[in-house]
Amino acid sequence: MKATQDFDPKLAAKKLLREGRSGALATLVPGSGDPCCSLVNVATMPDGAPLMLLSTLAIHTKNLLADQRVSLMLDERKDGDPLEGARIMVMGSCTRNADPSAAGAYLRRHPEAELFAGFKDFAFYRIDLTRVHLVAGFGRIVDLTPADVLTDLSDAQALLEAEEGAIAHMNADHAEACRLYATKLLGAPDGDWRCAGIDPDGIELQAGRTALRLPFPQRVTAPGPLRAVLRQLAEQARAR
């Protein structure tokens, strides 16, 4: 089904991917091929690919180690009938992620996992997307490609290298700006909002287990332009 004119399915899908903190992971049982569904916590890598911290003792991990094909459903967790809210289903191949940045990306979004992230049976797993299906309301059911929802990082190495320091700086010295981004620009209730992620397309804010995505007005690939955009957004928030 095609998107309506006032609706951007790519932006909606990116928002759901970045804001999701838990979802339903479907794997295949070895031998029988029976579907098996589990509740898992989810984060994202800088390009937006889903990231999970899984134990080899869990049935879903045993399943995906035998067959890497998985699907993951995330929804916006709004009040009321969940079928009236937006949700996204991604399919792809789930493999262990040796990227050293994975731990930071996950633990910023799930700090409670620090208690067990170092256990020998736990490891980080990334889903490399092959298909995306978005349901965002009546007339808003769209099939997308991985390129539609993932962020291109080919020209953003400088930003990736600066991300961890920029996040720490925002949370230590500009916590008020993070709060203003969430409350004034995104309409969120007041709270202890902090920065959980930065990528070329936007900044991720989090309070407790609630996450919000604030898109940048233009693509950012280096620390200098990032500072300029964050100042611009802070000025807009204070003006409101």
Identify whether residues 227 and 202 lie together within a single domain.
yes
The model's pLDDT over 132-153, given as tens digits with 9 standing for 90+, comes to 999 997 778 999 999 999 999 9
Identify whether residues 72 and 188 lie together within a single domain.
no
For residues 238 and 185, give the distance between their C-alpha atoms in angstroms, rounded to a whole number: 9
Asked if residue 170 is part of any domain, the answer here is: yes
Residue 81: per-residue pLDDT: 78
Confidence of residue 202 (pLDDT cuts 50, 70, 90): very high
The model's pLDDT over 160-189, given as tens digits with 9 standing for 90+, comes to 999 999 999 999 999 999 999 999 999 999
Among candidate residues 239, 166, 240, the one with its CA nearest the CA of residue 199: 166
Confidence of residue 5 (pLDDT cuts 50, 70, 90): low
pLDDT cut 70: percent of the chain above it = 98
Asked if residue 1 is part of any domain, the answer here is: no
Domain residues for 232? 157-239
Residue 7: per-residue pLDDT: 84
Q: How buried is residue 211: exposed, middle or buried, by Cβ count under 10 Å (0-12/13-18/19+)?
A: buried
Q: At residue 1, does pLDDT exceed 60?
A: no
Number of domains composing the chain: 2
* Residue 112: DSSP 8-state: G
Identify whether residues 35 and 102 lie together within a single domain.
yes
Q: At residue 2, does pLDDT exceed 80?
A: no
Which residues pair with residue 22 across a beta bridge? 41
For residues 149 and 132, give the distance between their C-alpha atoms in angstroms, rounded to a whole number: 8
What integer best gives the mean pLDDT of the chain?
94
Residue 59: per-residue pLDDT: 97
For residues 149 and 10, give the distance between their C-alpha atoms in angstroms, rounded to a whole number: 6
Identify whether residues 124 and 211 lie together within a single domain.
no
H or E segment to which residue 168 belongs: helix 157-173
Identify whether residues 17 and 133 lie together within a single domain.
yes
Residue 199: per-residue pLDDT: 97
Asked if residue 20 is part of any domain, the answer here is: yes
The model's pLDDT over 55-111, given as tens digits with 9 standing for 90+, comes to 999 999 999 999 999 999 999 877 777 777 899 999 999 999 989 999 999 999 999
